[in-house]
Structure 1
Amino acid sequence: MSILNRIANLTKASLHEMLNKLEDPVMMTGQYLRNLEEDLGNAENALREQRIGVSVAERKSAEAAQAAKQSELQALAALEAGDEAGARVIAAAKIRYEEQAGQYAAEAAEAKERVAELEIRLEEGKAEFERLKQKRQELAARARKVEESEQLHRPNISRGLDYGAAAKGFERMEEKILEWEAGAEVSGRSYTAGSGSPLTGASASDSAAVAEELQRMKDQLASRDK
């Protein structure tokens, strides 16, 4: 092994030893709980935003559907008055409103799925938070018992600190306390994202869809006049 490798290993070993001497298991479990509580708060905010998104999308879908119905009545009136050009423009608007209504309805459905998923995760997270709070009390009691020993030697566990998952952090702290307990016993003493832009569509004024819609309206008027 080269001198540089030996120096690097010695530096890492010294760093791990220093971290283990500074690390207080009870304090760290408290930090894990604060991290988890912050995550729960973020999840609750996200859930509120998704619920608002559902409400907005449903309202816009209903408004667009109503506008489509109104446009059809206006187009029929234009046809009755002999204004086919005007009816064509209104029929194109009706198609766009129907497209918008469909898009907003799809957005509302997607947002509802996200709401359901967030609700499940939030409930699971809250249950885990309560479980870990109880676990922390247990670990704190065990740590106090060990610290009453006159010859307490903290183990040198050369592993990095994991702040990402509260549950994993608790497991690590419990492992440390178990090692303290074992050491004390040997020495003879005790120790966890509105609605998007509506579909505008291509210009439908001269499209086949508009022509089809106009023909349907003409047929509707013809059958009504019979």
Structure 2
Amino acid sequence: MNIFKRLFNVGKAEAHSAIDKMEDPIKMTEQGIKDMKGDLGEALEGLAQVKAMLIRSQNEKVQFETKAKDYQNKAMLILQKVGKEELSNADGDRLATEALVKKEENAEHANRCTVEVEKFSKSVSQLETNVNVLRNNISKWENELKTLKARVKVSKATKNLNKQMAAIDSSSTVNMLEKMKEKVTEEEALAEAYGDIANESKSIDEELDKVLDGKQINAENDLEALKKKMGL
């Protein structure tokens, strides 16, 4: 199992060397997690198979031990029959011997199963450790991936904002504002000029009216003087 090698490769996803090679850290991490999940599936399958063999060996051990005891009891019962003279010595010895042979055969099988049980138990323990390591690493890297994706979103948003800010020409903006100020100043001056013209026009009219009103008064005065002179 190349899990530790894969973990190292996944770890490189955030390394500067990976970035220098233009490799995508997120894709590398996702692939690493995918590989680890594949390894986890294989490990679980292997664990199930070894556990099945362990259970079978444990069951066979019990069966062989039970048979060994059974043949031991049979040999004893035969000898008891010989002692009661229910069975001849020759037949008793032959049958008891056969029973003891069967007992030894089953005892050997039981011993073999004991060795297998110990071996399979160690394998199960090791595989369970590997499975736990894989699960922990998968959980760890999935959390790392979430963090990495969040960082990428923030960095992209920041980059886009900075890019937009960098695209703004500050000098042109200042020039535009200055032109706007000049335009406003011109408009204000023009409004003031029109006001002055309006005032000038009003003053001329007032002066004309004043002059004209003066002549009318003089004419009236002359008329009064003429009437006095003529005795009217």
- TM-score computed with the length of structure 1 as normaliser: 0.52
Structure 1 unaligned residues grouped into runs of 5+: 1-18, 151-183, 189-226
Q: For residue 68 of structure 2, what is the aligned residue in structure 1?
A: 68
Q: Distance in 1 between matches of 2:47 and 2:134?
A: 13
Is 1:91 the counterpart of 2:108? The answer is no
CA shift for structure 1 position 145: 4.0
Is 1:140 the counterpart of 2:120? The answer is no
Letter paired with 1:30 = E
Q: Distance in 1 between matches of 2:27 and 2:103?
A: 64
Structure 2 unaligned residues grouped into runs of 5+: 1-19, 167-232
CA shift for structure 1 position 138: 1.8
RMSD: 2.7
What SS class does the counterpart of residue 103 from structure 1 fall into?
helix
After superposition, residues 148-159 of structure 1 pair within 5 angstroms as: 149=159
State the Cα deviation string for residues 123-162 of structure 1 (Å, max 9, x = none): 2221111110111122223334444547xxxxxxxxxxxx
After superposition, residues 41-60 of structure 1 pair within 5 angstroms as: 41-60=41-60
Q: For residue 39 of structure 1, what is the aligned residue in structure 2?
A: 39
Q: Distance in 1 between matches of 2:73 and 2:145?
A: 67
CA shift for structure 1 position 48: 1.6
- Say how many residue pairs are matched: 135
Q: Distance in 2 between matches of 1:46 and 1:107?
A: 16
State the Cα deviation string for residues 68-91 of structure 1 (Å, max 9, x = none): 111112223333222212222221
Deviates more, 1:60-69 or 1:108-117: 108-117
State the Cα deviation string for residues 203-225 of structure 1 (Å, max 9, x = none): xxxxxxxxxxxxxxxxxxxxxxx
CA shift for structure 1 position 100: 0.6
Q: For residue 29 of structure 1, what is the aligned residue in structure 2?
A: 29
Is 1:115 the counterpart of 2:151? The answer is no
Q: For residue 174 of structure 1, what is the aligned residue in structure 2?
A: none
CA shift for structure 1 position 39: 1.0
Letter paired with 1:68 = A
